[in-house]
Amino acid sequence: MIEYFGREPSQSGTSYSGLSEQRRSDKQRGGLLRRDFLKTSGVGLLGALLSSSGTAAGTTPRKTRASFFTETKRQAARDNIDTYSPVNQFEHELREGVSEFVIREGTGGVGVSREQSYQSEWSTTIFDPSGGSHEWRGLSTTANSPDVDVSVYVNSSPTGTDTHWHHVQAVYLGQDADGRHVCAGIGNHSTGKDPRIGLYYPEDNEWETYDSMDDWEKQAWYALDVSTQGTTVEISLRSTASGTVHASGSYLLPSETDEKVGIFGALGKGQTGDLYFDEFTLDGIQTEFLQSDFTERQKVTTTNLALSTQDGGTYAGTDVPKPEYGEDTEYNDAIGNGFNYLYDVERDSDPASQFSVEWDVRDHWDVRPDNAEDVKLRLTMLTQCDDVAIASGDPPQRWNNPGTFKYLLTHRRTLGGSSSFQSVIESYDGERFIEQVTEVPVTSSDPTARAVRVTLNSGRTDYIASATVRPTGEPVEHTVDDTFTFDGAFAVYSVDASGNHEHAYLLNGTTLDVGGETLIEQRPRVEGVVEDFTRELTLDNALQIQVTSGSLDTQLAEKLVGSWVYADAVDERNGAYEVVGVENVTSTTATLKLGEQTTVKEFTDPNDPSAGYEYLLGENGNFSIPLSSTWSS
């Protein structure tokens, strides 16, 4: 995968993912220029590529060939196909006449959610992202009478510890003669106590009158109905799925309350999550507490794909359902690749040899200026795939994560069980600066060598190439599109609109030549043995290295800062570290400063910190630091 970022690259500001290849380990790279030879399935997030070498459950390992007439109809459907994915980060404010009251303030608040709504476009949520605080608050408006009939749909998704479980969802009924806030609803009141329905007074954290009931299902919608007549309060909780009444009761207030009515939610200390309220109806009239200016939903546009909606199921197969929240399934136990968590699947079982998918990316975490244009993220696949799918998948449901993403999944069937996927990813706002992306041939004895040609609107042409470096063997020469030759892991060669040299880059290689002219000649890497490393938990970590490939000097040591060192690790752990400084340099030894990056794996005995540590790195293991050079006209 090649990545272009944000703007048209300039001579001095070209940004390719592969420029930092091997500054991360294969596990860590997550793919800048990806040369993934996959023997297991992998999943990537928004805008990334999910690749698998086997056949997903529920798919047929046979590629069909469309007839001319079918292909003609398919081609007509292949341009600019749009699908949508919801986003749940929206600005909102209180409607006129609505006030917010806080009983205990934590780190959460009131928000809106499009993902969790019953019938409306969005629901109101009271949320708490931190288990270390309470979050008890509500919204209220003025009723026309002290006697009210209220109905609201409620849904809850709290998580908590075993030692304390406490949350409340209720209709707010105002303040009584003693000034206490009065809530009518449902709640859990700590571990070991039955769930309850009744009257709750948040200042005192007391259910003064209530009935015990069976626990209600989390992440499911219920209708909470509350009716007041004088000091009598009728409460009912009804399942929207079955229509049956889950619990109900009649309760007496010590005094009438004022003419305020609304919603109240409480998440106790040790709890995180959301409490959702939708379609609040007061005396038969739907009432909104918040107003929100929703932006367009996240759009996914495809080119050269003819996607058909799969008939139910998940990416694992039409007969494999998505697990319910917290559910373990037979598929999880038997297969465990996660494909059954990808739903709303659309497939193209005979994709074109080159296609593109573009995400209209929303600024979910509000990191860009308010007037910034939306970012587009476009992936162009250059590898012939046997089938392509787009599916919805839910990221970990922490409080500030989007509800769902649209995933791209590409699949090849190969006799050898491994594949190489080539793609170019570009992010931009406004107009694209890439005119054309093309795979180009590489003459090489290395079967993994790949290259692409990217033509920019400015007339500049970039050639980007990748190969596998085998440090113990002789350098392998790669000729790209009969244009330039290099040996190494990664190379870039750029020409201007007139065909003149403009830019070149080489990583972990020795030479880059164009037409007999050597633009780059360098030492490919520094190699040796890790003689020692930091043995304690500290913010100042280091490796003591001995160099076995050539010698060190001050100039070379300075070049190592900002590079990545790859050291032999234990248990298939990640032994990649960014070098933040170099000290104590001799011709054969040096101290590589790692800063806050630790070499400690875990306590030897978790119950006895004084027993010492286990480490990520092996004793006297090897290391390698790939070097890079840049040439500019």
The CA distances from residue 487 to 259, 423, 424, 546, 632, in Å, are 79, 22, 22, 26, 19
Task: Give the residue carrying structure tokens 């698998």.
Answer: 52
pLDDT (0 to 100) of residue 45: 26
Type of residue numbered 25 = S
Other C-beta atoms closer than 10 Å to the C-beta of 618 total 15
Task: Check residue 178 and give its pLDDT.
Answer: 93
pLDDT number for residue 533: 98
- Cα separation, 506 vs 108, in Å, equals 49
In terms of DSSP bridges, do strands 405-411 and 49-52 run parallel, antiparallel, or are they unpaired? Answer: parallel
Q: What confidence score (pLDDT) does residue 474 get?
A: 82
Taking the chain (633 residues) in consecutive chunks of 10 residues, what is each chunk's mean pLDDT? Answer: 51 35 31 27 29 29 27 40 49 87 89 82 84 86 92 88 74 95 92 88 93 90 97 97 95 94 91 91 93 65 96 96 88 94 96 95 76 88 95 78 86 82 93 95 95 97 93 87 97 96 97 97 96 96 96 93 96 94 96 97 93 95 96 94
Q: Which domains does the chain have, with CATH numbers?
A: 92-292 (2.60.120.200), 297-428 (no CATH), 433-522 (no CATH), 525-627 (2.40.10.190)
Count the Cβ atoms, other than its own, within 10 Å of residue 403: 17
Q: Which residue has the tokens 């570009």?
A: 426
Give the tens place of pLDDT for each residue, 347-356.
Answer: 999 999 999 9
| Element (DSSP H or E) covering residue 95 | none
Sign of CA dihedral 243, 246, 252, 254: negative
Contact predicate 527/548, CB 8 Å: yes
By DSSP bridging, strand 423-428 and strand 2-4 are: parallel
Q: Could you tell me the pTM of the whole model?
A: 0.63
Q: How many CA atoms lie within 13 A of 97 on its CB side?
A: 11
Res 3: pLDDT? 64
- Cα–Cα dist 263/274, whole Å: 14
Residue 588: how many other CB atoms lie within 10 Å: 13
Q: State how far the Cα of 376 lies from the Cα of 366, in Å rounded to an integer.
A: 16
pLDDT at 299: 82
Evaluate whether 348 touches 385 at the Cβ level (below 8 Å). no
Burial class (CB in 10 A: 0-12, 13-18, 19+), 269: middle
Give the integer Cα–Cα distance in Å for 626 and 180.
68
